[in-house]
Amino acid sequence: MNLNMDLTKTGLDMFFKPYQVTALNILWGSPNPLSSRQVWEQANEQLPGTISRASIINFLNASVENGLLNYVETTGKGGYRRLYSSKLSKPETLSFLSQMVQDRLHTL
């Protein structure tokens, strides 16, 4: 997993931008998988300013590749689309990130 860490911040903010943390919180709070459009709309309601839909899509797809999110493909108008869900709960994600950092520190 390729993540950057900002030691001036704490919690998830160490690894993710504010809109990314908001997107994760939206998925953690949803009982059902959500489309990128649904995540994008809810994130823009919660954060000041505007987040591009492309930024949300890129983050969601990168999070799938990094093992943080799951997706299922469904058909709709115009073809296939992904519905995203959290693979790990918030505490499990924090533990996962913490373990990654600890593992890397042991390689020093």
What pLDDT shows up at residue 4? 85
What residues have CB less than 8 Å from 80, skipping those under 6 apart? 73, 74
What pLDDT does 1 receive? Answer: 60
Segment 14-73, tens digit of pLDDT: 999 999 999 999 999 999 999 999 999 999 999 987 899 999 999 999 999 988 999 999
- Residue 88 CB-density burial (10 A; 0-12 exposed, 13-18 middle, 19+ buried): middle
Cα separation, 86 vs 89, in Å, equals: 7
Instruction: Give all domains of the chain, ordered by start, each with its CATH number.
Output: 11-105 (1.10.10.10)
